Chains A and B, each alone.
Chain A
Amino acid sequence: MSAISASEKVDGFTRKSMRKAQKQRKSQGSSQYRTQSAPVELSPLPQLKDAPSTEQQELFTQKLQQCCMLFDFLDSVTDLKSKEIKRATLNELVDYVSTNRGVLVETAYPEITDMICTNIFRTLPPSENPDFDPEEDEPTLEASWPHIQLVYEFLLRFLENPDFQPSIAKRYIDQKFVLQLLELFDSEDPRERDFLKTILHRIYGKFLGLRAFIRKQINNIFLRFIYETEHFNGVAELLEILGSIINGFALPLKAEHKQFLMKVLIPLHTAKALSLFHAQLAYCVVQFLEKDPTLTEPVIRGLLKFWPKTCSQKEVMFLGEIEEILDVIEPTQFKKIQEPLFKQISKCVANPHFQVAERALYFWNNEYILSLIEENIDKILPIMFGSLYRISKEHWNPTIVALVYNVLKTLMEMNCTLFDELTSSYKADRQREKKKEQERDELWKQLEELRLSNPTLVQNNCHGLPSVQNNNNNNSNNNNNNSNNNNDHQDKSVDAAAVATDDDDPDVSVAANESTPCAK
């Protein structure tokens, strides 16, 4: 610690890039291995392909059992030989189930699932980096990946084997199995999530009895993510699966599916890490709307409700999604939501963040949207006009101003007379708004006075105490009232003030009195 440069001493915070460079080693974690007893050393079994066909099944079982042995991968020096034997065996097993026919006899199913469960189902380790930012930070990789990867591979080949029989497998690949599988989607390791995605998709396809259960559990995961933890690494992967599931929904849509859209998918937009799964989410939403256009109105209203207030990056994503929706919207549906929607768009257009404004103004480059606007120009123009007119003069960014001029021109061409009317009434409208503003202030001021003349009530209210009922008549002469229903605390201060003045200087007692409400 001796060689510390002066600059380093000044700036204790090394730059993030530097810290990253220092952290060259890939961080790895694993919670799978818990020392119960020292692993027995594995001894290699003969190759399956060399065994006579009568003994193959027996040997297959033995190998599966051998693969149930778990190793500590955080310790990279122990059990090297056994680890290698297990790896080779797993490879052989993968090969065996993918190339051979007739190997999946009924008795093999429990052994196979047992091996899989032992290897992959585990409590995920705590994240090494508590404020892991999936966009910035390198994920912690699963340490035992050399084995786990092969087990996933094996599971996939097992499910895809032409001899695979869901009717037998469903005894083992049951709700509990699926539940554990779903929890693994929280893995920080993207390789693992990728495997899980394919596997869950296969299971959803092959086990009709599990479908509703899988959907419900995904529901729960999302709800926990939205409302409780705000942390789950596999949202994008799950949404990707859902995208194709939604695609296959029968019409008319069941209430359950609509509820999923409104109560889960729409609130998912509020997530902090929206950017990580927005593409998949928007895809799901659009899939729903293509299935059932009547959902357009509630969906758009939902998005408007959750419209980002402070995060411009998210606002741009929302605008992107709105455009995707408008691309497939039916004109009748458009009429239903045009007013609230364009009120929001008019706010976005006037956004001081130029990317937001720009993204909103790009809507006018979309032929279909343009035709929708033209059809409803008498409704939309009055909404848009104010902010467009204002920012055409005020926006700091020249590109935005140029875009706005184009948009104004387009709108003018759509309805010239209305445009002229709006231009001439612009000033008067502004003034009317200002006046309204003043009236509101006035109203609140009066209300505030009323409140102030009721200090006891305000005070009681602040403390939520059930208290005397006489607070309605206190409009006048507050000073007296104030000292009347005081509690001990205030009495003392009043007394003290009286002491202070002994000749009863009224000013002082008032001063002390008025100060009492803030005493607590």
Chain B
Amino acid sequence: MAGADGDDSLYPIAVLIDELRNEDVQLRLNSIKKLSTIALALGVERTRTELLPFLTDTIYDEDEVLLALAEQLGNFTMLVGGPEYVHCLLPPLESLATVEETVVRDKAVESLRKISQEHSPVDLEVHFEPLVKRLASGDWFTSRTSACGLFSVCYPRVSSTVKAEIRQHFRTLCSDDTPMVRRAAASKLGEFAKVLELDYVKSDIISLFTALASDEQDSVRLLAVEACVSIATLLPQEDLETLVMPTLRQAAEDKSWRVRYMVADKFSELQKAVGPEITKNDLVPAFQNLLKDCEAEVRAAAANKVKEFCENLPEDSREQIIMTHILPCVKELVSDTNQHVKSALASVIMGLSTILGKDNTIEHLLPLFLAQLKDECPEVRLNIISNLDCVNEVIGIRQLSQSLLPAIVELAEDAKWRVRLAIIEYMPLLAGQLGVEFFDEKLNTLCMAWLIDHVYAIREAATCNLMKLVEKFGAEWAQNTIVPKVLGMANDPNYLHRMTTLFCINALSEACGQDITTKQMLPVVLKMSNDQVANVRFNVAKSLQKIGPVLDSNALQTEVKPVLEKLATDTDMDVKYFAQEAISGKHFCLPLEVIERSVQVGGRVFFLPTRQNLLCLLNAKRDCSVQSFDKEIMWLSYPNSIYQTTLPFCTVLCCNTDCIGLIKELPRPVVMGTSSVVKVLLIIIPPPNPR
């Protein structure tokens, strides 16, 4: 620690501790958050002998400061000198684990769990385990609740006598007379069971589980349901019936709805844990009851699980069980009085069709889908529509389309814009399912109507929707159906609609390709530069900048540039600003050699800068980050790159020329799929010369 020794005078502990004691909470908090820096300045020895004792003794502070401290200490192992000294961290964490505030305590326990792994088995028994014992027998409930979370981390690594003690402590806490402690114990029961030997699971855990599951407080009982899943997974099949099932049955019929809700919520996990036989005999009737529960909360939770439950039924009797036991309950839920129940059901019911097959779907499920499509609650209808793909696979969407259309139209005109927004988001999916003819016939008008919605968010979403549709149906379709209508809006008397034209062009130019953009869209944009509303004019400047990459350089120089130059002398300062911005944007000022070649990958244009420019880029932007996807390919993400004026996020893709093929096969990277204009720079690096 040569450096730290020399710096002694610079960082006397008194000064640092002074900072930790500052009257201003915010400053104290800042200091605590930089505790590792302080420890670093002090060196490992003084951290152990001076800083930690100070932290242990004198910290009585705001919970926020304590929280930061508890978090910091979990990462302190190296700062106190490595694993052999890690036990020095226990005293301050022990007192933090007894604090009242739950978040602080939880964080302290989390840190303790973390550093427990860094203890040697000997240290674990000498230092860690005694701490757990002290916490477990603390006076105030807080230390006992903290102890519950620590048993499972030290149990596997201690001797058998200590193991016995740990089990005893856990047992005591499970019957603590403070409900808070019992809740903590119940929530850790499953985790603890996992580290126990099977014999002890049977002898100890089961009795604790049974006791907690019949606790007088429902908040304890419901936590036992969670533990039930882990316990059932651990036990051999033949013991489940006697050891777990009585308790589970009782929980499914508990008088408190919270417990029943928990059972419903965990039903799929429980089903997997107990296996097919018990599922058939016990869980099916239990599930039926939950679907018919008197509390809507419970019914909704159960309804959410319908698909998963049916999927996981044993194959040999699946269809029979669904048809005779589950479907009748589902039918009732379709007309439930509570909309949450109906919408929970609607979000999964379509999944049943794949399980039941074509005939059953048409005969039994279709009427239910149709009923839900006419439901008064928009959420129910939306949930059905958003899951259409499952049905499409089984029976084809034609069966539904007649009822679908009125439902879609109604949602498309709903008074709540959020509902309209939601249906717009499903449009590309629907278009894919229904096919282009149906779409042109019925839905196209809707999509165009959204472009002139009163709410901006809807217009924006509609624009984005058009782009996705074009990606789906192709440029030719766009040219015939969409582009004329969009361009027609450029003459609308309402300037908001005229601006929508520009927004559409921004979104569509790339998908439509150079030809349509240059020949059809560009003239309209250029014409709009004479609009009398300044907002339209500066959006023209923005649009020109956006569609620039799609245009050929000839058009850029001869048509776009003069218009931008004219706009740059506009009387309105915003127009001026954006025009200048566009002119100074990359397409007009980049040295020609930067764009050496361009290639199209997946319908998008990539610029291939020369190697020299790559070097400039790397030199200029050292804060780029590297993500390695593959051996030959790496991605450099450039937030705030030199192209930031036009590109919100620019990804530079570097690769070896050899793996160009690979890139083409790459799935569309996430960054490319966003609706905002994102460009990807493809940088080709020649392979190293074989020497």
Q: Which residues of A contact B (CB under 8 A)?
A: 1, 4, 6, 8-10, 12, 31, 33-35, 123, 125-126, 176, 179, 220, 223-224, 226-228, 263, 267, 305, 343, 440, 443-444, 446-448, 450-451, 453-454, 457-458, 460-462, 464, 466-467, 469, 471-473, 475, 489, 492-493, 496, 499-502, 505, 507-508, 510-512, 514-516, 518-519
Contacts and interface: CB of A to CB of B under 8 A. Distances in A.
Given A125-B295, A220-B178, A1 B414 contact: yes
Contact of A511 (B179, B454, B618): B618
Given A1-B410, A4-B415, A518 B7 contact: no
8 contacts: A126-B257, A224-B179, A228-B102, A471-B78, A472-B43, A475-B3, A499-B688, A515-B623
A141 to B, nearest CB: 17
A515 B36 contact: no
Contacts of A496: 626, 628, 634, 654
Given A126-B257, A466-B82, A500-B614, A447 B118 contact: no
Contacts of B3: 450, 453, 475
A440 to B, nearest CB: 7
A499 B34 contact: no
Contact of A505 (B7, B40, B41, B615): B615
A516 B634 CA distance: 12
Contact of A228 (B11, B180, B416): B180
A8 B414 CA distance: 10
A227 B686 CA distance: 62
Contact of A502 (B178, B410, B419, B688): B688
B531 interface: no
A114 B255 CA distance: 18
Main secondary structure of the interface of B (DSSP, over half): mixed
Which are the 7 A-B pairs with shortest beta-carbon distances? Answer: A12-B416, A123-B256, A475-B3, A12-B417, A4-B415, A511-B622, A493-B626
Contact of A466 (B36, B83, B100, B180): B83
A223 B180 contact: yes
Given A8-B415, A444-B34, A464-B75, A519 B626 contact: yes
Contacts of B294: 31, 33-35
Interface of B: 1-4, 7, 10-11, 15, 19, 23, 27, 34, 36-38, 40-41, 43-44, 62, 74-75, 77-79, 82-83, 100-102, 114, 118, 140-141, 178-180, 183, 216, 218-219, 255-258, 294-297, 410, 413-419, 453-455, 614-615, 618-619, 621-628, 631, 634, 636, 654, 656, 685-689
Contacts of B183: 228
Given A447-B11, A447-B34, A472-B44, 12 more contacts: A1-B410, A31-B257, A34-B255, A123-B258, A224-B179, A224-B219, A450-B41, A464-B77, A466-B78, A500-B654, A515-B626, A518-B625
Contact of B75 (A305, A462, A473): A462
Main secondary structure of the interface of A (DSSP, over half): helix
A511 B619 contact: yes
Contacts of A447: 11, 34, 37-38, 40-41
A519 B415 contact: no
A473 B6 CA distance: 13
B615 A507 contact: yes
A190 B651 CA distance: 60
Contacts of B654: 496, 500
A461 B36 contact: yes
Contacts of B415: 1, 4, 8-9, 12
B256 A460 contact: no
Contact of A305 (B44, B62, B78, B219): B62
Given A123-B255, A500-B654, A500-B685, A519 B615 contact: no
A457 B78 contact: yes
Contacts of B455: 9-10, 12
A435 B294 CA distance: 69
B618 A508 contact: yes
Contacts of A444: 34
Most chain-B Cβ atoms within 10 A of its Cβ — which of A496, A502, A505, A519?
A496
Contacts of A518: 623, 625
Nearest to A462: B75
B619 A507 contact: yes
Nearest to A267: B100
Contacts of B114: 464
Contacts of A507: 615, 618-619
B622 A224 contact: no
Contacts, number: 170
Contacts of A500: 614, 618, 654, 685
Contacts of B83: 466
Given A467-B78, A472-B1, A511-B619, A123 B628 contact: no
B615 A461 contact: no
B216 A179 contact: yes
Contacts of B686: 502
Contacts of A34: 255, 294
Contacts of B27: 440
Contacts of B219: 224
Most chain-A Cβ atoms within 10 A of its Cβ — which of B11, B74, B82, B626?
B626
B263 to A, nearest CB: 14
Nearest to B115: A464
A519 B629 CA distance: 12
B454 A10 contact: yes
A518 B2 CA distance: 29
B102 A31 contact: no
Given A447-B34, A464-B74, A514 B295 contact: no
Contacts of A464: 74-75, 77, 114
Given A263-B100, A492-B631, A223 B41 contact: no
Nearest to B254: A123
A501 B79 CA distance: 38
A295 B455 CA distance: 60
A163 B595 CA distance: 101
B120 to A, nearest CB: 11
Contacts of B79: 457, 461
Nearest to B3: A475
B90 to A, nearest CB: 16
Nearest to A8: B415
A12 B418 contact: yes
Contacts of A469: 82
A499 to B, nearest CB: 6
Contacts of A492: 628, 631, 634
A458 B75 CA distance: 10
Contacts of B626: 493, 496, 512, 515-516, 519
B634 A220 contact: no
A458 B27 CA distance: 22
B517 to A, nearest CB: 33
B17 to A, nearest CB: 12
B82 to A, nearest CB: 6
A210 to B, nearest CB: 15
A352 B256 CA distance: 48
A276 B74 CA distance: 39
Contacts of A450: 3, 7, 37, 40-41
A31 B295 contact: yes
A446 B102 CA distance: 35
A464 B234 CA distance: 31
A35 B294 CA distance: 8
A463 B141 CA distance: 32
A502 B689 CA distance: 8
A508 to B, nearest CB: 5
A223 B83 CA distance: 37
Contacts of B7: 450
